């Protein structure tokens, strides 16, 4: 089969859970199929180092505004690039597999396949599905309504949909009861992170945070939580990985709280280095407002490190936490609440790490990317025998 994977970011040029999923998906599919990765240009003259064909249909550059919100121009340009590419080459593909967001690439793909009467099936991953209330909080009253309307229209386009959370699955089934949607349970590739698990966290205690520094990740909430936790655990240290629009705000809070020797801003480094730090930590602190899955929680559990996430209507990462077994779900991102969870994780010691590792081992197969890949591959073959719903 000839498969096009469409996503505006390519790992490791851009970091994130979805980025890793599409990179791993492309590599594994390419072993038995022919894969073309359609993306933006995020590399120099030498080109990307990928075993599969990679095509840039739009220029690279930043995706976020100075305030940390998604910029509108890059997804529009990417959507136009996807449309043109599939208008020219859409008939050669058996399946086009894309993320739902940013929606312009999905719209471009659907329109091109319709105009060319391509037999390619449109497969869409729904990492998130926002409520109207959240859209309005993100883009304002008018912009939010427009975004919500586009999202609602896009739900009608796929021949097949996948999601990684019960949260999104239930929302799509509520909006479109007849939608062909299936929940995948695994996105983790153990082969990609060769770090061994440990039942003993290092001393003095260490807390690690990793992810993009955008408003939804709430990284600036971490230093105040560490400051309060240090009142009970004076030797506590913290390492914060990643970068983004909120990096300067986070660094300023570290200085204001006098945490320069306790909290280290590690920036963007190789995944292996991040995982080595996570494997030594008492916990992973992940106070994100919005997560479509929470891959870093699974990665942490695979090396015996419990996670702390925050309960919320848009946070599917809490689905991966079994309270007191592989971590804790804080009721709010308030520093006092996060600090209490951090202290509980430290107090849990080796026993909590052992139960975290056991939690992962019992779910290893369902959490693996291989389990999801088998479902995805099977769906391609099934869809080829059916009429294309989105273009009928």
CATH of the domain at 135: 3.40.50.2000
pLDDT band, very low/low/confident/very high, at 178 (cuts 50, 70, 90)? confident
Number of domains the chain is built from: 2
Q: 196 with 341, same domain?
A: yes
Predicted pLDDT at 381: 76
More confident residue, 191 or 389: 191
Q: 304 with 238, same domain?
A: yes
Predicted pLDDT at 159: 93
Residue 7 is part of which domain span? 2-189+368-391
More confident residue, 61 or 173: 173
Give bridge partners of residue 291 from the DSSP assignment: 315
Q: 163 with 215, same domain?
A: no
Mean pLDDT in residue range 22-46:
90
| DSSP state string for 336-375 | HHHHHHHHHHHHHHHHHHHHHHHHHHHTHHHHBHHHHHHH
Q: For residue 79, give Cα distances in angstroms to 73, 103, 158.
A: 10, 8, 16
* Three-state DSSP state, 239: strand
Task: Tell me how far apart the alpha carbons of residues 105 and 98 are, in angstroms, rounded to a whole number.
Answer: 8
Give the pLDDT confidence of 91-134 residue by residue, as tens digits.
Answer: 999 999 999 988 999 999 999 999 999 999 999 999 999 999 99
Q: 240 with 362, same domain?
A: yes
| DSSP state string for 38-101 | EEE--S-TT----SSEEEEEE-----B-TTSSBPSHHHHHHHHHHHHHHHHHGGG-SEEEEESS
Q: 166 with 273, same domain?
A: no
Predicted pLDDT at 141: 94
More confident residue, 391 or 193: 193
pLDDT at 49 over 90: no
Mean pLDDT in residue range 317-339:
97
Q: 198 with 333, same domain?
A: yes
pLDDT at 280 over 70: yes
What is the value of pTM for the model shown?
A: 0.87
Give the pLDDT confidence of 315-327 residue by residue, as tens digits.
Answer: 999 999 999 999 9
Predicted pLDDT at 386: 64
Least confident stretch, 27-31, 197-201, 331-335: 197-201
More confident residue, 12 or 355: 355
What residues have CB less than 8 Å from 127, skipping those under 6 apart?
18, 99, 100, 101, 163, 164, 168, 292, 293
Q: 248 with 177, same domain?
A: no
* Half-sphere exposure (Cβ direction) of 234: Cα atoms closer than 13 Å: 0
More confident residue, 357 or 380: 357
pLDDT at 64 over 80: no
pLDDT band, very low/low/confident/very high, at 391 (cuts 50, 70, 90)? very low
Q: What is the mean pLDDT of the chain?
A: 91
Q: 174 with 274, same domain?
A: no
Q: 214 with 346, same domain?
A: yes
- Between the CA atoms of 91, 94, 98 and 103, what dihedral angle is there, to the nearest 10 degrees? 40
Q: 200 with 342, same domain?
A: yes
More confident residue, 268 or 240: 240
> pLDDT above 90 covers what percent of the chain?
74
Predicted pLDDT at 168: 95
Mean pLDDT in residue range 364-390:
79
Predicted pLDDT at 390: 44
> pLDDT above 70 covers what percent of the chain?
96
Stated as kind and residue range, the H or E segment containing 182 is strand 181-183
């Amino acid at each position: 089969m000839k498969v096009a994977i469409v996503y505006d970011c390519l790992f490791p040029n851009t970091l994130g859970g979805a980025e890793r999923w599409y990179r791993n998906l492309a590599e594994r599919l390419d072993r038995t199929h022919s894969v073309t990765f359609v993306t933006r240009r995020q590399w120099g003259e030498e080109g990307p180092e990928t075993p599969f064909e990679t095509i840039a249909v739009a220029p690279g550059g930043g995706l976020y505004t100075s305030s940390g919100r998604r910029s509108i121009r890059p997804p529009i340009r990417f959507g136009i690039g996807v449309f043109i590419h599939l208008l020219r080459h859409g008939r050669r593909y058996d399946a086009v597999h894309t993320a739902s967001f940013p929606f312009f690439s999905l719209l471009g793909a659907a329109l091109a396949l319709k105009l060319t009467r391509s037999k390619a099936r449109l497969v869409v991953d729904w990492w998130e599905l926002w409520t109207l209330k959240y859209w309005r909080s993100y883009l304002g009253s008018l912009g939010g309504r427009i975004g919500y309307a586009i999202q609602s229209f896009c739900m009608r386009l796929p021949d097949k949909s996948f999601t990684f959370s019960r949260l999104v699955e239930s929302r799509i089934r509520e909006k479109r009861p007849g939608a062909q949607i299936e929940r995948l349970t695994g996105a983790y590739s153990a082969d990609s992170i060769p770090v061994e698990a440990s039942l003993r966290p290092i001393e003095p205690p260490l807390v690690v945070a990793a992810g993009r520094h955008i408003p939804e990740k709430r990284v600036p909430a971490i230093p105040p939580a560490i400051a309060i936790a240090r009142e009970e655990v004076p030797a506590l240290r913290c390492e914060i990985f990643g970068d983004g629009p909120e990096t300067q705000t986070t660094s300023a809070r570290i200085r204001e709280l006098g945490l320069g020797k306790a909290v280290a801003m590690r920036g963007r480094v190789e995944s292996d280095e991040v995982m080595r730090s996570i494997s030594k930590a008492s916990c992973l602190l992940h106070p994100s407002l919005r997560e479509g899955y929470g891959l870093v929680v699974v990665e942490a559990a695979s090396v015996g490190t419990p996670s702390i996430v925050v309960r919320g209507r848009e946070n599917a990462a809490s689905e991966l936490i079994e309270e007191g077994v592989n971590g804790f779900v804080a009721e709010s991102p308030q520093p006092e609440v996060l600090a209490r969870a951090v202290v509980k994780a430290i107090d849990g010691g080796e026993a909590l790490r052992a139960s975290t590792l056991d939690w992962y081992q019992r779910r290893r197969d369902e959490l693996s990317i291989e389990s999801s890949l088998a479902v995805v591959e099977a769906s391609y073959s099934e869809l080829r025998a059916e009429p294309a719903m989105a273009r009928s």
